[in-house]
Chain A
Amino acid sequence: DAKTTQPTSMDCAEGRAANLPCNHSTISGNEYVYWYRQIHSQGPQYIIHGLKNNETNEMASLIITEDRKSSTLILPHATLRDTAVYYCIVRVERYGNKLVFGAGTILRVKS
């Protein structure tokens, strides 16, 4: 599975959009981009995933560049409860393939 690169940490003001970047320059055509987050002392939580097209759900939006070498997770109106470690994961959806977590980005939402 392709490797991802994320900033170590980011700050965001409460109520503003949080834009979390992820580079995956070696992504292959059948690899999806997934985002999970881990709030302190909790288990990881699935946020969103996509292949080529931009995706949106009730939690966030995922913007994938046309060349698929990078993506951005957008939390449209960040709240204090969005403070967490955000993981960008690239993987092929196939039987037996596991989720591999990197170091992620620590997002701190501040009032």
Chain B
Amino acid sequence: DTAVSQTPKYLVTQMGNDKSIKCEQNLGHDTMYWYKQDSKKFLKIMFSYNNKELIINETVPNRFSPKSPDKAHLNLHINSLELGDSAVYFCASSLSLGMTEAFFGQGTRLTVV
């Protein structure tokens, strides 16, 4: 059983399109995150939700909108995709916000052409 699963694993799309990445965790964790890893391999947090409530919202364009229908899911919707959005997006979860151990998904490689 995959603890944190993301879909799709790869996503190639044209500039201007709207796309979503889905994330689900079966660990019973309260907190979920989205991280972005760019071409230089730096991992940066984008958002975190705790029990469906937005807790961390880093300086991210408002074209990015996270949605948490329940605490096991945190989806990332991106409007009007730009070339610079190309990156690997990782979903993660932890037992609670501030907890040590975060579990990461396998990532979604987004390529905008």
A interface residues (Cβ-Cβ under 8 A, vs B): 32, 34, 38, 41-46, 49, 85, 93-101, 103
Query: With A44-B90, A46-B102 known to touch, is A95 a contact of B45 (CB < 8 Å)?
Result: no
**Total interface residues in chain B, CB < 8 Å:** 24
Q: Can you list 30 contacts pairing A with B, beta carbon distance less than 8 Å?
A: A41-B107, A42-B107, A43-B92, A43-B104, A43-B106, A43-B107, A44-B43, A44-B92, A44-B102, A44-B104, A45-B104, A46-B100, A46-B102, A93-B100, A94-B98, A95-B98, A96-B56, A96-B98, A97-B97, A97-B98, A98-B33, A98-B45, A98-B48, A98-B56, A99-B45, A99-B102, A100-B45, A101-B42, A101-B43, A103-B41
Which residues of B lie under 8 Å from residue A99 when comparing CB positions?
A: 45, 102
A sample of 5 more A-B contacts (CB under 8 A), given A43-B107, A44-B90, A94-B98, is A44-B43, A46-B100, A93-B99, A96-B97, A96-B98
Are the CB atoms of A42 and B106 closer together than 8 Å? yes
Which residues of B lie under 8 Å from residue A97 when comparing CB positions?
A: 97-98
Cβ distance A98 to chain B, nearest Cβ, rounded Å: 5
Which residues of B lie under 8 Å from residue A49 when comparing CB positions?
A: 100-101
B84-100 contact mask (Cβ, 8 Å, vs A): 1 or 0: 00000010100011111
With most chain B CB atoms within 10 A of its CB, the pick from A41, A43, A99 is A43
Q: How far is the CA of A85 from the CA of B42 in the complex (A)?
A: 11
Which residues of B lie under 8 Å from residue A32 when comparing CB positions?
A: 100
Q: How far is the CA of A5 from the CA of B65 in the complex (A)?
A: 33
Q: How far is the CA of A32 from the CA of B101 in the complex (A)?
A: 12
Are the CB atoms of B42 and A103 closer together than 8 Å? yes
Cβ distance A46 to chain B, nearest Cβ, rounded Å: 4
Q: How far is the CA of A38 from the CA of B43 in the complex (A)?
A: 11
> Which chain B residues in 11-47 approach chain A with CB under 8 Å?
33, 41-45
Tell me if B55 counts as interface (CB < 8 A to partner A).
yes
